[in-house]
Structure 1
Amino acid sequence: MNLHQFFLLLRARRKLILSTLLATILLALGWSLVQSKTYTATTSVLLNYKGVDPLTGLTMPGQLLPGYMATQIDIISSKNVALRVVDRLRLATNPTVIAQFQDATEGRGSVRDWLADLLLRKLDIKPSRESSVVEISFKGADPSFAAAVANAFAEEYQNASVRLKTDPMKKASAYFNEQTRQLRDNVETAQARLSKYQQEKGIVSLDNNRVDVELARLNDLSSQLVAAQAMALEATSRERMAGSGSAHSPDVTNNPLIQNLRVALSAAEAKLAESASRYGRNHPSWQAANAEVAKMRADLNAALATVSRSVGGNAQVLRQREEELRAALAAQKTRVLELNRTRDELGVLLKDLDSAQRAFDAASQRFSQTRIEAQSEQSDIAVLNPAVAPSEPSSPRVLLNTLVAVLLGTVLGVGAALLLELLSRPVRSSADVQELLGIPVLGTIAWQTARPRGGLRALMAPRRLLRLN
């Protein structure tokens, strides 16, 4: 079939094609008008899969896996998140919803599960190809309800992601807490055995060169005692000078506070003398200056007394330190003379204590880390664009349905015409005769005078004038 024959076919079957097209359009329009309006609310969430862990400061490797986005979509569309959305919006306690559940399921099952399945059927999740943004859409008859459900899914998805990270850490934290308690008991037991052994044997130092250490300590105590005696003697001399007269004591004369007070007192006395010569003793300015001089003298005397007491206290401390060093030196001499201890049992106890302490430290560090991770409420998911109540319905789309109906009706009409043409092949042109009979056409006869035609009809009309080939 050539193009001319196809045009002749369309012209001959135009009523069938137009009828099919019109019927398809009417059916699409009727179906669009009968359908109830549906509103779609969309919430955009950002998955920060290149985020930094707040504890370690490293990029979280689990979020760099190829299946991370698919996993997040499965979490959003999970039954767990849907049930929490139902609880968040308190849909299971609505009397109207309960009545609909009774009519739909005759009381079988749970209203929460029924609502969760119903919400998931109307939920649509679309991830972006070139970014980490996921769009959560929900379809419903009420635009406000659709926006509320979409936002609830986004918020519960955030909470679910936090729970999925914190719940394993809580279990690990409880495990390490129990292990820490047991290891602490082991450390305390090892420490108690070591302390008991040290107490029984009178061991002070825990190294193997105890005798050398004790001798060195004895020498050190002796040196400290000599130095303490010299310091105590010097402090006693300063105490006597400070007690007999403050003017000759270097501790008093070199004290910055006393020097400042003396300078201030001299300035105040000069001011007092100037006031006396200018105003007299009955003038308020002289009286104020006199009161200031008295106050400065009282402060200076108090500072002198404080410095004297400080010097005396320092001397008393140094004498007490001398006595303590004498006692420590005597005790050290006794301890060095009584050194007769074993080392093998002490080494075993030290190794047991060290092993228990290392295990306890490692468990404590891990317990602290898991406890912080379990208490972390930070999510790597953020709501980019919250859903708002849509003003226009998303379906039915009358214009789109009409355009689809035009295309479909045209295809069906042309297909029906071609089918009828194949079932009953008429002769509309000389080419049809030649194709059916397989013989050349010698000419054509015009049975009636052809009316003048123009345009496409003139091209499509068969040749009826006598024509010889």
Structure 2
Amino acid sequence: MNFSQILLVLRARKKIILLTLLFTVAVTIIVSLVLPKTYKATSSVILNYKGVDPLTGISMPGQLLPGYVATQIDIISSKNVALRVVDALKLAQSPAIIEQFNDAQDGQGSLRDWLADLLLKKLEIVPARESSVVEISFQGADPQFVAAVANAFADEYQRASIQLKVDPMKKATSYFDSQSKVLRDTVEAAQSRLSKYQQEHGIVSVDNRLDVESNRLNDLSAQLVAAQGQLMEANSRQRMAAGESGESPDVAGNPLIQNMKVALSAAESKFADIAQRLDKNHPQYQSAKAEVDQLRADLKAQTRVTSNTVGNNAQILMQREAAIRTALQEQKNKVLELNRTRDELNVLQKDVENAQRAFDATSMRLSQTRIEGQSEQSDVAMLNPAVAPIKPYGPKILLNTALAIVLGTMLGLGLGFLLEFFDRRVRSQADLSDLLDIPVLGTIDWHQSQRRPSRFNGMFLRRSNLSVNS
């Protein structure tokens, strides 16, 4: 079926189409007038209107989350908020509503849940496209009631949002309180171990004592080095003194020995002179020789005494070096013990500091969560409260009529084509050619000619003009 055939069908079925259109529009208008009027009230709330938590001073990133507004819409349309609205407006206490519930549910179920479901069915929540404003709308037959319900939803949503924020904080407060007690006991135990350790070891100030002992250790080390040098020198002198006495500087440098050597040299000179002049049996010769022998014996004895004195000095230096070495080892052990004590004390002090730091952090968090748990601040604010509407929201007669025109036109066209499908007629030469499958040689125009009849053909009867197409 081509476009010209569709136009022919529409022209032929125009009465059916117009009647269907008129009937649809009339029924729509009548129903719109008969239906009860409905009113719609809208309350607007704004989310995250401050942007900063009044307690912590931290910027709240809620509005930056993609699903934040959607989450708030789900909270508003939740059954929890609807039940709060039912309780706030005391709807479950109305005798008329109780009677309606008994008629609708036969007394089965919960009245509050039934009312909450009814309220949610007529609730409409629309978020703004590029802002944090959310509109809460409610429809009903009573203007005052719809405004009250819209405002109640906004108010209860604020309270629910506060409760959703406060309840976790209260649980966190309980947790931090228990942890604070545990950490306080840990701090006390660590402090007790530190004090007990200091008392057992008599520690007042480990660092100062360690400095003194370290200085003493350094002094002993220097003394040991000096004593070892002196001992080495004394051993060398002892060996030289024990060997050839004349080569020992200690023996040679002794003033008494030097004087005795001078006296011995003089005596030997005197004896040599006497020996040249006198015989060995002469008394002077005997006296001079006896003097020389006595001086030699005294020199040898004094040399032995001086050598023994050098050896005794070496022994004294050896004992001193051994004593310094022993004192140095004891001092080293004492310093090592102080280092170990300081390390253990540092570990105990670190335990106390760590426990104290954890306790302080927990106490600070406990104070903050306790304050937040007691806060009634909300990040939701009422922007525009709902007012009782003056004009009804529905039914919308003009909109319904426009829709009825569209729907009636579609129904009329459908009905016209349906009748044409069951009662197919020849309306053009194309229909005849398609139906009989033969070519059309000509058509007869049964309409009267528009030209006026002349005097020559006025006497004849009206007849049809014949038009032949080949």
TM-score interval, smaller chain: 0.5 to 0.7
The 1-side partners of 2:403 and 2:168 are apart by: 52
Aligned residues: 332
2:402 — aligned with what?
403
1:364 — aligned with what?
363
Displacement of 1:2:
4.5
3-state SS in 2 of match to 1:178: helix
1:419 — aligned with what?
418
The 2-side partners of 1:20 and 1:92 are apart by: 47
The 2-side partners of 1:30 and 1:17 are apart by: 20
The 1-side partners of 2:428 and 2:208 are apart by: 125
Q: How does 1:275-294 map to 2 (within 5 A)?
A: none
* TM-score under structure 2 length normalisation: 0.64
1:108 — aligned with what?
108
Displacement of 1:77:
0.7
1:388 — aligned with what?
387
**CA deviations over 1:187-241 (Å, ceiling 9, x no partner):** 2344345456656777554x4324879xxxxxxxxxxxxxxxxxxxxxxxxxxxx
CA 1:131/1:465 → structure 2, altered by over 3 Å: closer, same or farther? farther
3-state SS in 2 of match to 1:116: helix
3-state SS in 2 of match to 1:444: coil
Structure 1 residue 187 and structure 2 residue 195: aligned? no
The 2-side partners of 1:42 and 1:34 are apart by: 25
The 2-side partners of 1:24 and 1:73 are apart by: 39
3-state SS in 1 of match to 2:138: strand
Tell me if the contact between 1:444 and 1:465 (Cα under 8 Å) persists in the aligned partners: no
Q: Which amino acid aligns with 1:406?
A: I
The 1-side partners of 2:100 and 2:360 are apart by: 60
The 1-side partners of 2:166 and 2:80 are apart by: 16
Tell me if the contact between 2:124 and 2:137 (Cα under 8 Å) persists in the aligned partners: yes
Q: Which amino acid aligns with 1:444?
A: T
1:156 — aligned with what?
156
The 1-side partners of 2:192 and 2:413 are apart by: 100
2:129 — aligned with what?
129
2:262 — aligned with what?
none
CA 1:13/1:181 → structure 2, altered by over 3 Å: closer, same or farther? same
3-state SS in 2 of match to 1:126: strand
The 2-side partners of 1:448 and 1:74 are apart by: 71
1:40 — aligned with what?
40
**CA deviations over 1:292-327 (Å, ceiling 9, x no partner):** xxxxxxxxxxxxxxxxxxxxxxxxxxxxxxxxxxxx
Tell me if the contact between 1:41 and 1:150 (Cα under 8 Å) persists in the aligned partners: yes
**CA deviations over 1:99-135 (Å, ceiling 9, x no partner):** 2222222222221111111111111111222322221
Q: How does 1:252-291 map to 2 (within 5 A)?
A: none
1:316 — aligned with what?
none
3-state SS in 2 of match to 1:113: helix
The 2-side partners of 1:468 and 1:446 are apart by: 10
CA 1:465/1:153 → structure 2, altered by over 3 Å: closer, same or farther? farther
Q: Which amino acid aligns with 1:148?
A: A
Tell me if the contact between 2:46 and 2:134 (Cα under 8 Å) persists in the aligned partners: yes
- Quick check: 5-14 or 87-96, which moved more? 5-14
1:118 — aligned with what?
118
Displacement of 1:424:
2.1
Displacement of 1:78:
0.6
The 2-side partners of 1:75 and 1:448 are apart by: 74
Displacement of 1:354:
2.3
Q: Which amino acid aligns with 1:84?
A: R
Tell me if the contact between 2:445 and 2:467 (Cα under 8 Å) persists in the aligned partners: no
Listed as ranges, the gaps of 5+ residues in structure 1 are 214-340, 453-463
3-state SS in 2 of match to 1:426: coil
3-state SS in 2 of match to 1:208: helix
Tell me if the contact between 2:126 and 2:134 (Cα under 8 Å) persists in the aligned partners: yes
Q: Which amino acid aligns with 2:22?
A: L
3-state SS in 2 of match to 1:443: coil
The 2-side partners of 1:195 and 1:135 are apart by: 65
Tell me if the contact between 2:172 and 2:369 (Cα under 8 Å) persists in the aligned partners: yes
1:225 — aligned with what?
none
3-state SS in 1 of match to 2:441: coil
The 2-side partners of 1:210 and 1:92 are apart by: 82
Larger Rg: 2
**CA deviations over 1:160-180 (Å, ceiling 9, x no partner):** 222222211111111111111
1:172 — aligned with what?
172
The 2-side partners of 1:426 and 1:50 are apart by: 75
* TM-score under structure 1 length normalisation: 0.64
The 1-side partners of 2:17 and 2:353 are apart by: 96
The 2-side partners of 1:186 and 1:80 are apart by: 43
The 2-side partners of 1:210 and 1:41 are apart by: 84
CA 1:86/1:346 → structure 2, altered by over 3 Å: closer, same or farther? same
The 2-side partners of 1:51 and 1:63 are apart by: 8
The 2-side partners of 1:110 and 1:2 are apart by: 63
The 2-side partners of 1:451 and 1:157 are apart by: 79
Tell me if the contact between 1:124 and 1:138 (Cα under 8 Å) persists in the aligned partners: yes
CA 1:441/1:347 → structure 2, altered by over 3 Å: closer, same or farther? closer
The 2-side partners of 1:136 and 1:202 are apart by: 75
CA 1:184/1:468 → structure 2, altered by over 3 Å: closer, same or farther? same
The 2-side partners of 1:194 and 1:185 are apart by: 14
CA 1:199/1:418 → structure 2, altered by over 3 Å: closer, same or farther? same
- Quick check: 125-134 or 52-61, which moved more? 52-61
Displacement of 1:3:
4.5
Superposition RMSD in Å: 3.0
Tell me if the contact between 1:41 and 1:143 (Cα under 8 Å) persists in the aligned partners: yes
The 2-side partners of 1:19 and 1:424 are apart by: 19
Tell me if the contact between 2:38 and 2:139 (Cα under 8 Å) persists in the aligned partners: yes
Displacement of 1:437:
2.9
CA 1:421/1:465 → structure 2, altered by over 3 Å: closer, same or farther? farther
Tell me if the contact between 1:443 and 1:466 (Cα under 8 Å) persists in the aligned partners: no
Task: Give identity over the alignment, percent.
Answer: 66
Q: Which amino acid aligns with 2:76?
A: I
3-state SS in 1 of match to 2:16: helix
CA 1:132/1:355 → structure 2, altered by over 3 Å: closer, same or farther? closer
CA 1:6/1:450 → structure 2, altered by over 3 Å: closer, same or farther? farther
